[in-house]
Amino acid sequence: MQDYLDLLTKTANSVLKKGEVAKGKIFILENKVTTDNEDRFEKIMDEEKVPLPILVRKRINSSPCLRPSSPTLTFRVPKKADLNSAESAIKIRGARQHNLKNLDLEIPIGKLTVITGPSGSGKSSLAFHTLYAEGQRRYVETFSPYVRQFFDRMDKPEVDRIDGIPPAIAIEQKNTIRTTRSTVGTLTEINDYLKLLYPRLAKGFHPETGEEVRPDNPKSILEWVTSNHQDENILVLFPIPVPSDTTPDDLFPFLNSQGYLRIFLGHKVIRTDSAPSLKKLPREVLIIQDRLKVTTRNKSRLTESFEQALGLGKGAAAISSAEGTIKTFTTTWAPLVKPTSSLFSFNSPLGACNNCRGFGKVIGIDLDKTVPNESLTLREGAIKPFQGDRGEECQRDLVRNCKERDIDLDTPWEDLDEDTREWIYYGDRNTNSPDDLEELWRHFGKKIGGMGFRASSTG
């Protein structure tokens, strides 16, 4: 309580010294705040962002600090519980912005509050031009005058007072045009932020080994080597491609002239200054960049070797342990692709699903719907797409071809064997040529089957 009184006293004295109070005075007396100008007192507290004490509607005619004839208003200093409860709601008093008619309202903090009503009832006037305007105005005023000039400031709303309002943000209302690719994420533009966030959080895993795939650097290679081969001798390697027409007699003298005396080939160390015993070279050769022991003392040398190996290997390097096990490193996401925003966007060919192409729906054929009633026979119309005026000709073709194959037209669909159903659905399937299928379709031959009809009708 004493801290609160000190704050009120400091505020009042600061304002009075500036000469901003034309009428009225503020006094602290016996744990009470006394003033002879209520409106000015509330305005001062609002401008200085000091929690307003609770008003006690009591007038006194005399006070040791005021003239006996001066009417006064006395404010009780709130208890700690009162101060906490005051922050649990946004209190609006006398809102007159636009078409609001002196509205008094309390909005709880920490809960979802929805403002509804018919057009012109004052929803936007309350939410945007009163609450948001005042919250934004108070937030901007916390910055220095230099910073404030870069903000778009809103006018002070017509309201007597607003207590407990926190800094506010507003989501712009707009009428968007929906398309077949529109989702909640695209309409609210949240998807744009997710596309930037996901590539930074993405983790890749090798499709064959299941190991995590991530770009390597000298620091990460050093950490892996230190944790797996501490106090062991290792070989730092980097690969180089070998042209198809290159022979060992051409490659070895070249490497020796460049200062590389050893290569790692077939899990063996081969010197380049001796006559090669190889008849043919592989498409890629591992060059030994350095041989050293993994110790704390060699930390800087290891880092330098890894940097040189990655540079000479064009982003690729390898480590060979004493047992001959080779561990490869790369600065890329190989064999995966680098995660980008396009990879997490269904509107991009890179991120779109291979099945639905980013639409979220697949146009297909539900065979269960072609025969909704399995108790019917083929003659009674078990194949529903073949019924009606559009399918009448197809039904005649089906009946004719079934007679040629000696299929009983009066057997219920549920009693037909799988081979017969397969033939009715897909035809003979003795050709894969699009030209032959097109020719058969034009002549309504017996090799099209029901699937050919339905595929053509949906396409």
Over residues 370-396, the pLDDT tens digits come to 899 999 999 999 998 888 888 888 899
Task: For residue 130, give both structure tokens.
Answer: 């009163």
**Which of 38, 40, 73, 77 is CA-nearest to residue 58?**
73
Q: What's the CA gap between 456 and 408, in Å, rounded?
A: 27
At the second CATH level, the architecture of 367-458 is: Orthogonal Bundle (1.10)
Q: Is the confidence at residue 111, as pLDDT, over 70? A: yes
Range in 69-73, 204-208, 366-370 the model is least confident about: 69-73
59 pLDDT tier (thresholds 50, 70, 90):
very low
Q: Is the confidence at residue 151, as pLDDT, over 50? A: yes
pLDDT of residue 37: 52
> Would you give the distance in Å from CA 44 to the centre of its chain?
45
Listed in order, strand segments (DSSP E) in 275-400 are 284-293, 316-320, 326-330
- What φ, ψ does residue 198 adopt, rounded to 5°? -60, -40
Tell me the Cα Rg of the chain. Answer: 41
Average pLDDT, integer, range 402-419: 91
Range in 82-96, 139-153, 176-190, 442-456 the model is least confident about: 442-456
For the packed helices 434-443 and 449-458, what is the interaxial angle rounded to 10 degrees? Answer: 90
Give how far Cα 266 sits from Cα of 129, 149, 261, 292, 337, Å.
76, 70, 16, 20, 30
339 prior amide bond cis, ω within 30: no
Q: What's the CA gap between 247 and 59, in Å, rounded?
A: 109
Task: Tell me how many helices (H) and strands (E) the chain has.
Answer: 16, 15
**Which of 185, 7, 4, 189 is CA-nearest to residue 79?**
4
CB-based contacts of 444: which residues, under 8 Å, 6+ apart?
A: 393, 394, 397
Q: Which residue has the higher pLDDT, 60 or 280?
A: 280
Average pLDDT, integer, range 193-206: 91
Mean per-residue pLDDT over the chain, rounded: 77
pLDDT of residue 447: 37
| Amino acid residing at 67 | R
Q: Is the confidence at residue 64, as pLDDT, over 70? A: no
List, by residue range, all CATH 1.10.8 domains of the chain.
367-458
pTM attached to this predicted model:
0.44
pLDDT of residue 47: 57
pLDDT of residue 448: 38
Task: For residue 378, give both structure tokens.
Answer: 């083929």
| Amino acid residing at 127 | A
Q: What's the CA gap between 113 and 107, in Å, rounded?
A: 7
Average pLDDT, integer, range 46-70: 41
> Going edge to edge, which strands form the sheet with 284-293?
268-271, 262-265, 284-293, 233-241, 316-320, 326-330
Q: Which residue has the higher pLDDT, 309 or 334?
A: 309
Q: Is the confidence at residue 62, as pLDDT, over 50? A: no
Query: Percentage of the chain with pLDDT > 90?
Result: 29
Q: Which residue has the higher pLDDT, 44 or 404?
A: 404
Average pLDDT, integer, range 49-78: 39
13 pLDDT tier (thresholds 50, 70, 90):
low
Q: Is the confidence at residue 350, as pLDDT, over 60? A: yes
Q: What's the CA gap between 239 and 148, in Å, rounded?
A: 58
Average pLDDT, integer, range 415-431: 82
Per the DSSP assignment, residues forming a β-bridge with 319 are 236, 327
88 pLDDT tier (thresholds 50, 70, 90):
confident
HSE value, Cβ hemisphere, 13 Å, CA-based, for 224:
16
Q: Tens digit of pLDDT for each residue in 217-242?
A: 999 999 999 999 999 999 999 999 99
Q: What's the CA gap between 347 and 182, in Å, rounded?
A: 10
pLDDT of residue 249: 85
369 pLDDT tier (thresholds 50, 70, 90):
confident
Range in 12-21, 78-87, 226-235 the model is least confident about: 78-87
Q: Is the confidence at residue 34, as pLDDT, over 90? A: no
pLDDT of residue 12: 56
Render 241-296 in DSSP notation, one character per residue.
E--TT--HHHHHHHHHHTT--EEEETTEEEESSS----S---SEEEEEEEEEE--S
List, by residue range, all CATH 3.30.190.20 domains of the chain.
213-330
Q: What's the CA gap between 93 and 113, in Å, rounded?
A: 18
Average pLDDT, integer, range 133-137: 87
Range in 14-28, 129-143, 284-298 the model is least confident about: 14-28
The third-level CATH classification (topology) of the domain covering 213-330 is Ribulose 1,5 Bisphosphate Carboxylase/Oxygenase (3.30.190)
HSE value, Cβ hemisphere, 13 Å, CA-based, for 341:
7
pLDDT of residue 177: 74
